[in-house]
Structure 1
Amino acid sequence: MDTKLKVLIHGTGFAGQGHADAFRSAGAEVVGIVGRTPSVLAEVAAKMEIPYSSTDWQAALQTCKPDIVSIATPGGAHYEPIKQAIEFGCHVFSDKPLTASGETSAELYQLAKQKGVKTAFAASFRYMAHILHAKQLVASGAIGEPVEVECISHFNLERDIPFGWSHRKEDGGGRLNNNFTHMISIVTSVIGEKILAIAGDVRDDLGKAPIVEGVHNFKTRRDFIPKDLNDPALEWGESNVEWSYTVLAKLESPFASKPVSALFKHGGLTPKFDENHIVFYGTKGAIFIKGHYGMGPLYFWDKNETWQELPIPQEIAEDLPNITGDTERNWHFLAREFVKDIRGEAFTPYPSFKEGSQYQQLIDLIRNNNNWTDVSHLQ
């Protein structure tokens, strides 16, 4: 395949612009962009030198005839554009969550399989350097058989971030959609992709958020927090989704004879006292990575029963895109491998709609919150 693959972007915010940069870096041609707000759309298309822009997704598909579409809008707006793109015969790269429900995510996964198009799902923090290193260490037997994983994070997010999609279940909001999707992808990439069992609890400890106009970029939403939160004229929107979660999972691992236990504990609004972290425990050692998404550094508990900081192996460092920003670099990594696959070249396996569909069905189960046994009657 000698001609450049053509990419159409859906979304003009941080993710849309990041996806466009990632595909250009991968050697594809960004031929168009679709957005909701004409003024923002025109500004972004001009800034990024994208030749075609439209507020009409179907018209853009017909006009641009893309090989790949990149979906970079909030999760609640994914279903129809993805379905239309698949039916049009496009390969699809989608940010998380895949859709707002397990049912619609499963439908899109099956439709993509039937149409024979390739899909990529951007639960892409599995490409952090220290996560790739941990994967290498576990596969080499450095910690023996893995037995347990612990993922702990507290974000202390501002409670008064303007009301928007992140507050609404139907729009793809919630910490499960926007944090757990990355965490489960990280853990399965290291331990093994087969999830055997799941249980969880969620909590909405936010309640409400101020309604503010003008927020178009998720990364700059903090800039719109009202200065006077006691203003009687201020309107408030009600959150209907979780801001904290606790999930337990059992994973099958090719490196272990028994299922591996995994704990995912996340508080979106609560402060951390010590480092957020990810730990992989084994029968002969352990790997501790600082940072909620494995930012590092990485420490290895060895046979001498001491923690030693390990540097990133040179081959991993050299394979990472030379991009500032963890989110952006991970998009570049995933887009690069996706393009290689489409072009028929050797590629590193990546998460697809199979994982996106599975994760969304898991999230539905966790949100049902029916894992409790009533013991109030016990004496």
Structure 2
Amino acid sequence: MTRPKILVAGTGFAGKGHTAAFRAAGTQVVGMVGRTGHVVRDVAAELAIPYAGTDWAAALSELKPDIVSIATPGGAHYEQIKQAIAEGCHVFCDKPMTTKGSTASELHELATAKGVKTAYAASFQYTPSVQHAKRLIADGAIGEPTEIESISHFNLERGIPFGWSHRAEDGGGRLNNNFTHSLAIAQALTGGDILQIAGDVRDDLGRAPKISGVHDFTKRRAFIPDDLDDPSLEWGESNVEWSYTVMARLGSPLARQPVSVLFKHGGLVPRFHDDHIAIYGTKGAIYLKGHYGSGALYVHDGSDWIETPTPADLIEAVPKGLGETEQCWHVLVNHFLRDIRGEAVPTYPTFAQGSLYQNIIDVIRKSGTWAVISEVTP
């Protein structure tokens, strides 16, 4: 395939970021589709994309892209992806893959039957620090991995305007938009399969103000009302989790026993110490600062924690001058395109992983593992 043609769905932060990643990899972005005519026309003009439209099926038919990049909110993914697969397009999809496990599984099966390649952007595993930790663990720096803790507290503002992130049917919720990355990182660090999962979720937000004009998800804080007690405000009801606690067991080729993992995320509560990912083993431990482990890395040598710099080759593997999200998109896009060309590439997240994650999220949201103590026989 020479200079593949890319059609992008979505005009916000992800749409712009996917466009830049595919262009940097040498493809031609031939079109962009969005929900609102004047918005998609403005963004396409800003990015020098020749086609702008609001009809996804028409764009597929007219442009005949080789690859589609799905950068819309999760609630829009299903039909867009299904139509693209039917046209024989390879699909790069941001997370969440869809809004529920059944539709994600269907899309995975359709893509497999059609023989198209897929990529699922649970992509924060590609930060240099996480890749450094992965290398250290594989080299035996901590012995056999035994336990991981992934802890984050975002302290998100309760006045963030009501939108897709507040609604399950639109792909919202912290499991879809935080846990997917954290679970992928744990799997990358251990090379492990998910054996068992249990969890609990909580909607501790309840509602959010309805404010017009929000387009770019990353700029939504600028629209928070000055007075949340203003009686003229309209409110939308949240129906998704803003906090979760998940326990998992991962089977790893690096360990004789399953690796125990704790994922703890509070979307609305403040942190006291650093958000972090810690990996413990039979001979040592690794501590990564940051909610996705993208900060400083420390190795415990048996007596103390020692900050360990990232190797130069891992730093050079990501593009310079970009945010972490954009850097990771670039890495994943490169793996995806090389795979499409038939080159040997490292394992990367596809719809197989994406559909598994949506089914796991369905299980966690049921919170069905509680035992009622009064009903337990002593």
TM-score (norm. length: structure 1): 0.98
Q: What's 1:328 paired with? A: 326
Alignment of 1:113-262 (within 5 A): 113-262=112-261
**Residue deviations 1:279-318, cap 9 Å, x none?**
0000001000000011210000114x21110110122112
Note the alpha carbon deviations across 1:85-142, whole angstroms, 9 max, x for none.
Answer: 0010000000000000000000000110000000000000000111000110111111
Q: Is the 8 A contact 2:129 2:288 kept in 1?
A: yes
Query: d(CA) in 1 for partners of 2:251 and 2:27?
Result: 37
Do structure 1's residue 348 and structure 2's residue 352 form an aligned pair?
no
Matching residue of 2:305: 307
Conserved? CA contact 2:192–2:253, under 8 Å: no
Q: Which residue pairs with 2:32 in the alignment?
A: 33
- Deviation of residue 4 (structure 1)? 0.2
Q: Is the partner of 1:120 in helix, strand or coil?
A: strand
Find the residue that maps to 2:227 and give its secondary structure.
coil
Q: 2: distance between equivalents of 1:232 and 1:311? A: 53
The share of aligned pairs that are identical, in percent, is 63
Indicate yes or no: 2:279 matched with 1:280.
yes
| Letter paired with 1:366 | I
Does 2:67 match 1:68?
yes
Structure 1 spans left out of the alignment, 5+ residues: none
- Work out whether 1:52 is the aligned partner of 2:51: yes
1:100 aligns with 2:96: no
Residue in 2 that maps onto 1:337: 335
For residues 182-202 of structure 1, the C-alpha deviation after alignment (integer angstroms, 9 at most, x for no partner) is: 000001011123100000000
- The residue type paired with residue 9 of structure 1 is V
Q: Secondary structure at the match of 2:143?
A: coil
SS of match in other structure, 2:373 = coil
What is the CA-CA distance between 1:348 and the residue it aligns to? Answer: 2.5
- Comparing 313-322 and 181-190, the one that deviates more: 313-322
Give a deviation string over 1:205-226, Cα, whole Å, max 9, x none: 0000000111111001111111
Q: Which amino acid aligns with 2:204?
A: D
What is the rounded CA distance, in whole Å, between the counterparts of 2:141 and 2:230 in structure 1? 58
Decide whether aligned partners of structure 1 residues 283 and 55 sit closer, same or farther in structure 2, where only a CA change above 3 A counts. same
Q: What is the DSSP-based 3-state SS (H/G/I as helix, E as strand, rest coil) of the residue aligned with 2:225?
A: coil
CA deviation map 1:3-27 (0-9, x unaligned): 2011000000000000000000111
DSSP-derived class of the 1:376 partner: helix
Aligned length: 377
Residue 268 (structure 2) aligns with:
269
**CA RMSD for the aligned pairs?**
1.0
Secondary structure at 1:78 match in 2: helix
Give the letter aligned to residue 74 of structure 1: P
Equivalent-residue separation in structure 1 for 2:230 and 2:296 (angstroms): 44
Equivalent-residue separation in structure 2 for 1:131 and 1:300 (angstroms) = 13
Partners in 2 of 1:156 and 1:231 — Cα distance? 23
**Structure-1 separation of matches of 2:15 and 2:340:** 21
Q: Give the 3-state SS of the residue equivalent to 1:199 in structure 2.
A: strand
The partner residue of 1:363 within 361, 364, 369 is 361
Q: Deviations over 1:248-305 (max 9, x none)?
A: 00000000000000000000000000000000000001000000011210000114x2
Shift of 1:377: 5.3
Deviates more, 1:218-227 or 1:345-354: 345-354
SS at match of 2:247: strand
Separation in 2 of the partners of 1:320 and 1:50?
Answer: 25
Question: By how many angstroms is 1:319 displaced?
Answer: 1.4
CA distance in 2, matches of 1:18, 1:348: 22
- What letter is aligned with 1:153? S
Code of the aligned partner of 1:90: C
Unaligned runs of 5+ in 2: none
1:23 aligns with 2:19: no
Instruction: Return the letter of the residue paired with 2:197.
Output: I
**Where does residue 42 of structure 1 map in the other structure?**
41
Q: d(CA) in 2 for partners of 1:149 and 1:340?
A: 32
Q: Which amino acid aligns with 1:173?
A: G
Distance 1:198 1:317 in 2: 33
Secondary structure of the 2:30 match is: strand
Structure 1 residue runs of 4 or more that deviate by more than 6 Å after TM superposition? none
Displacement of 1:230: 1.8
1:7 to 2:27 alignment: no
